[in-house]
Amino acid sequence: MVLSAVIKTWPLEFQDIRLNIEAQFRRLRGQSAVAHQAETREIHVQISDIRNMLDQACGVSQAFGPEATTIRMNPSVMESLPFIPERVSRFLACNTFNPEQVLELAITMRDRRRARGGFIPPPVWTSQKLRDWISSPESALLQLQGSLLCAEQSRDLAIDLVQLLQVAGLPVIWYLGSTSTPKETSDVVSAVDILRSLIEQTIKQHAKATPNWNLNDSHFQACKTEKDWIRLLVAVLGHVQKMVLVIDVHHDAQGTLAIMKEFWDGMTEQGISTTVKILVLTYETPAMILDSFPVVPAAFESTGRMRNPRASLARTSARFRNPRGRIQRVGTSTRGPEDLKPFIMKLVASGKG
């Protein structure tokens, strides 16, 4: 023991300090455990108080009904809030139609078909009714009947028109129907989906101006039926100067035309000053013929049917012999969408879009 103390002097010299430190650590651990228990007990008491308050609130709600405990915002406050597109996007989020993606895919498929050669612009681009429809300063609706035999070419006309309007700087919203029959019920795009899409496109294209619009969340929340969405579309378009609607209908032409007719009547009833141009592209089906479209004087017109491009070529081209005696063919006189561009620029020049 003496020898160990002589060799290992450190434990003898600092043993008291070490024992004191260990004692202090034990005391701190004990105090920490007591504090933790006290804090846990306090949290438990607070949770119990909150639970009792909730039970009392539920009792009041059951006694007086949900209307007595519903907190409502003052309507005057709601109307004074600026219109924020992000806040109403939840009412449009269930839309099953993505216009940008559909247009991009349609453009790709159109370009692939035309890259194979043999594309002939349809003579409808030189139609006087089509020119009058787009160039007049007032609102107008035009029905253009395509052909099921040339469904892709008919749809390409709608695509060409959308692109032409975009390049010209005119605001345009569109719906491009599928050329194939929906395989499932979930694949069918309803009239409400189309209306939602048109509203959403208008809001996105005028995002900078929307804070000044006289709209609020309640206008969107109240939409339950087709008529409600039609009224909302009229109200939204009433905040812009010009808008062109291109509606390509391949399925349910009768229903879509009825919706467009009701939308047109709604614009007349509300007396909006917006210049709205509507082009509805339909197809030849037994359930829908051109003459059955509801007639509105000076508004509901139709161009001639789009013919088979090969038949159009036979009618609008001629053969002649060149100086070498070879037979050549003179192409059609139409340049396609470029023929309509000057008439679109007339609408652009009539004021800012």
Encode pLDDT of 238-288 as tens digits.
999 999 999 988 666 677 888 888 999 999 888 889 999 999 888 765 444
Report the pLDDT value the prediction gives residue 12, as an integer from 0 to 100: 61
Instruction: Please indicate, yes or no, if residue 21 is contained in any of the structural domains.
Output: yes
> Where is the domain boundary, 18, 34, 63?
63
Least confident of 58-62, 124-128, 346-350: 58-62
Which positions ≥6 away from 301 have C-beta within 8 Å? 129, 133, 141, 142, 143
Please give the model's pTM, rounded to 2 decimal places: 0.65
Pair 121, 245 in one domain? yes
pLDDT of 29 over the 50 cut? yes
243 or 10, greater pLDDT:
243
Q: Is 184 helix (H, G, I), strand (E, B) or coil?
A: coil
Tell me the CA distances in angstroms from 186 to 96, 106, 193, one per residue in order. 9, 21, 12
Residue 308: which pLDDT band, with cuts at 50, 70 and 90? very low
Encode pLDDT of 74-112 as tens digits.
555 455 566 777 888 888 876 677 899 999 999 999 999
Pair 105, 250 in one domain? yes
Which positions ≥6 away from 336 have C-beta within 8 Å? 121, 125, 160
Given a contact cutoff of 8 angstroms between Cβ atoms, the answer to whether 253 and 286 are in contact is no
Mean pLDDT throughout 329-340?
69
Q: How many residues does the chain have?
A: 353
Tell me the C-alpha distance between 137 and 340, whole Å: 16
- Structural domain boundaries enclosing 58: 2-63
Pair 95, 224 in one domain? yes
The total number of structural domains in the chain stands at 2
Given a contact cutoff of 8 angstroms between Cβ atoms, the answer to whether 275 and 139 are in contact is yes
Residue 183: which pLDDT band, with cuts at 50, 70 and 90? low
Considering the chain, what is the average pLDDT of its residues? 76
The upper half-sphere exposure of residue 345, i.e. CA atoms within 13 Å in the direction of its Cβ, equals 7
CATH number for the domain including 335? Answer: 3.40.50.300
Mean pLDDT throughout 285-294?
41
pLDDT of 53 over the 80 cut? yes
Report the pLDDT value the prediction gives residue 22, as an integer from 0 to 100: 86
pLDDT of 194 over the 50 cut? yes
Pair 41, 129 in one domain? no
- The dihedral region occupied by 224, where left means phi > 0, alpha psi between -120 and 50, and beta the remainder, is alpha
Pair 246, 128 in one domain? yes
Encode pLDDT of 319-330 as tens digits.
333 445 443 444
Structure tokens given for 275: 């210049």
Instruction: Please indicate, yes or no, if residue 308 is contained in any of the structural domains.
Output: yes
Q: Where are the alpha helices (DSSP H) in 65-150?
A: 75-80, 85-88, 99-115, 128-135
Single-letter amino acid, residue 137:
P
Core vs surface per residue 1-32: b (16+ CB within 10 A) or e: eeeeeeeeeeeeeeeeeeeeeeeeeeeeeeee
Pair 104, 17 in one domain? no
Given a contact cutoff of 8 angstroms between Cβ atoms, the answer to whether 168 and 198 are in contact is no
